[in-house]
């Protein structure tokens, strides 16, 4: 049966190849791949036991996980070279400060809005941590959560900010730490500023540096485009695995939390669209262009791995300035994540508060929660771990128990898919709005 399953999988890969070849529409092919993967995984779980499913998924993961690894392979070189190339094209360094401020401000504002929506959904669905029973897997997860909490107990904002400054840029280029992306951005930006300064003193040197960097940039971009053409097949494999291993009983037991989470995520997507509309960007046209990026983010659950797709889409399809696109994609992967650092920890804080006698809907609590979530979203990159660490940081800051983080571990993958897609969309929206605000695009 394993061989039969693999033959069917390869046949469906070929179908996707022919669809992409005939239509030349990446977004449509990615969506079809996502749908086929969902059906294939569900059928596999329904008709086979683990002795058949697990070996089959081991082979399927070569395509899914292999695609993710290819994207992860190019993240750090792309971030370093593309930002360096973008900055060397600037005429003055003060433009860099405006871009950084605009992107970060937009990310943090949308995260505050996302936290507000999370609170609202927890109220509407009457979510509570009371009565949840922990099974063996959840109890083990709680121990893991407590261990992680101890690691970040001494984390302060000054130490977090200090961790962003690279002490060994070559180590950061390997992705050695959770702050590697931000550290690489800083190193690349400083090199770019130095190149601009050198160009003022010696125009010939400046032109030679800019020309060399641009050559490397085009080389990396060509590699990125080769890998991006594999997106439909990677998404298909990733969705197959997700659907085949999801525990449907867990989904049913915690259905209210899942529905509330996705309702909040959907509402935040709508708000993103309204923000775009305010700045005269057609949201329907926008979402049509970014669909392949969101599909990959949804199936891979990786904001960092989505960076190459994110940057290319902002520059080629959304026509955002390359400097803005690079900063929005890289900062958005680690700072101000609307889903993981906005909606999720806010919902958990509302659910846990009543267990310790706190009214989660008092004005004082809501305001302090939104503020803490927004500030913490800036520091999640300093500790790593995505939504789990975001929740730990927020709950710890409010002196709330952490048990709920472990209790929800069984449905984490399902919700994390939507949260990651929202994180990536938040980064692209920040780039698009910043592009409009800074008048980088001629209309």
Q: What is the pLDDT of residues 69-125, one digit of tens each?
A: 888 788 788 878 877 887 777 655 567 788 888 998 999 999 999 999 999 999 998
Q: What is the pLDDT of residues 363-378, one digit of tens each?
A: 989 998 998 888 777 6
Computed from CA positions of residues 340, 346, 347, 349, in that sequence, does the dihedral angle turn out positive or negative? positive
How far, in Å, CA of 324 to CA of 320, rounded? 7
Question: What confidence score (pLDDT) does residue 275 get?
Answer: 96
Q: What is the pLDDT of residues 244-279, one digit of tens each?
A: 876 666 566 567 888 999 999 999 999 999 999 999
Question: What confidence score (pLDDT) does residue 78 get?
Answer: 81
Question: What confidence score (pLDDT) does residue 138 get?
Answer: 46
Answer whether residue 382 shows pLDDT above 60: no
Question: What confidence score (pLDDT) does residue 233 get?
Answer: 92
Residue 433 near residue 114, CB atoms below 8 Å: no
Cβ neighbours, 10 Å, residue 112: 20
Question: What confidence score (pLDDT) does residue 99 get?
Answer: 86
In this prediction, residue 243 has a pLDDT band, given cuts at 50, 70 and 90, of confident
Please tell me which of 205-214, 234-243, 266-275, 415-424 the model is most confident about, judged by mean pLDDT.
Answer: 266-275
How far, in Å, CA of 315 to CA of 296, rounded? 18
Give the residue with greater pLDDT, 410 vs 303. Answer: 303
Answer whether residue 134 shows pLDDT above 80: no
Question: What confidence score (pLDDT) does residue 383 get?
Answer: 44
Residue 373 near residue 117, CB atoms below 8 Å: no
In this prediction, residue 314 has a pLDDT band, given cuts at 50, 70 and 90, of very high
* Residue % of the chain over a pLDDT of 70: 83
Question: What confidence score (pLDDT) does residue 442 get?
Answer: 44
Domains in the chain (CATH in brackets) are 2-437 (1.10.3860.10)
Q: Which of 50-64, 199-213, 249-263, 316-330 has the lowest mean pLDDT?
A: 249-263
Would you state the structure tokens that stand for residue 119, as one six-digit string? 């609170």
Answer whether residue 147 shows pLDDT above 60: no
Answer whether residue 146 shows pLDDT above 60: no
How far, in Å, CA of 24 to CA of 405, rounded? 43
Give the residue with greater pLDDT, 397 vs 43. Answer: 43
Cα–Cα distances (Å) from 413 to 129, 134, 251, 376, in that order, read 19, 18, 11, 22
Residue 399 near residue 316, CB atoms below 8 Å: no
Question: What confidence score (pLDDT) does residue 250 get?
Answer: 58
Q: Which of 136-145, 282-291, 314-323, 417-426 has the lowest mean pLDDT?
A: 136-145
Question: What confidence score (pLDDT) does residue 386 get?
Answer: 63
Calculate mean pLDDT across residues 419-438. Answer: 93
CA 321 and chain centroid, separation: 21
Question: What confidence score (pLDDT) does residue 301 get?
Answer: 80
Average pLDDT of the chain is 82
Give the residue with greater pLDDT, 67 vs 155. Answer: 67
Calculate mean pLDDT across residues 45-54. Answer: 86
H helix intervals, 301-411: 307-312, 322-332, 344-352, 363-379, 386-397, 403-407
The closest of 389, 117, 132, 126 to 254, measured between CA atoms, is: 132
Give the residue with greater pLDDT, 132 vs 116. Answer: 116
Question: What confidence score (pLDDT) does residue 133 get?
Answer: 47
Question: What confidence score (pLDDT) does residue 395 get?
Answer: 80
């Amino acid at each position: 049966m394993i061989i039969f399953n693999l033959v069917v999988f390869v046949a469906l890969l070929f179908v996707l190849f022919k669809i992409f070849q005939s239509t030349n529409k990446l977004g449509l092919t990615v969506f079809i791949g996502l749908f086929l993967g969902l059906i294939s995984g569900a059928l596999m779980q329904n008709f086979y036991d683990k002795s058949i499913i697990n070996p089959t998924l081991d082979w399927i993961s070569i395509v899914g996980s292999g695609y993710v690894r290819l994207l992860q392979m190019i993240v750090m070189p792309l971030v370093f070279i593309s930002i360096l190339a973008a900055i060397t094209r600037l005429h003055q360094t003060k433009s860099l400060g405006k871009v950084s401020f605009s992107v970060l401000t937009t990310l943090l504002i949308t995260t505050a809005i996302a936290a507000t929506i999370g609170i609202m959904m927890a109220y509407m669905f009457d979510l509570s941590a009371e009565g949840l029973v922990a099974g063996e897997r959840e109890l083990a997860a709680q121990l893991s959560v407590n261990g992680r909490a101890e690691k970040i107990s001494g984390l302060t904002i000054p130490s977090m900010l200090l961790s962003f400054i690279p002490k060994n840029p070559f180590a950061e280029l390997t992705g050695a730490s959770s702050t590697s992306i931000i550290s690489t951005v800083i190193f690349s930006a400083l090199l770019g500023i130095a190149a601009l300064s050198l160009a003022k003193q010696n125009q010939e040197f400046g032109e030679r540096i800019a020309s060399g960097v641009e050559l490397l940039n085009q080389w990396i971009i060509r590699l990125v485009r080769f890998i991006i053409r594999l997106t439909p097949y990677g998404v298909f494999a990733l969705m197959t695995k997700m659907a085949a291993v999801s525990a449907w009983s867990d989904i049913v037991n915690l259905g209210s939390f899942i529905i509330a989470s996705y309702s909040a995520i959907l509402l935040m997507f709508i708000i993103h669209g309204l923000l775009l509309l305010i700045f005269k960007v057609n949201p329907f046209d926008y979402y049509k262009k970014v669909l392949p990026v969101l599909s990959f983010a949804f199936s891979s659950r990786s904001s960092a791995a989505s960076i190459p797709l994110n940057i290319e889409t902002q520059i080629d399809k959304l026509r955002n300035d390359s400097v803005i696109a690079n900063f929005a994609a890289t900062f958005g992967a680690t700072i101000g994540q609307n889903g993981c650092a906005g909606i999720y920890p806010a919902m958990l804080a509302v659910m846990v508060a009543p267990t310790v006698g706190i009214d989660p809907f008092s004005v004082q609590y809501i305001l302090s929660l939104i503020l803490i979530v927004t500030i913490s979203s800036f520091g999640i990159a300093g500790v790593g771990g995505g939504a789990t660490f975001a929740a730990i940081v927020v709950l710890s800051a409010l002196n709330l128990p952490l048990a709920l983080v472990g209790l929800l571990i069984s449905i984490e993958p399902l919700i994390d898919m939507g949260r990651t897609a929202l994180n990536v969309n938040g980064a692209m929206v920040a780039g698009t709005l910043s592009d409009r605000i800074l008048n980088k695009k001629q209309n």
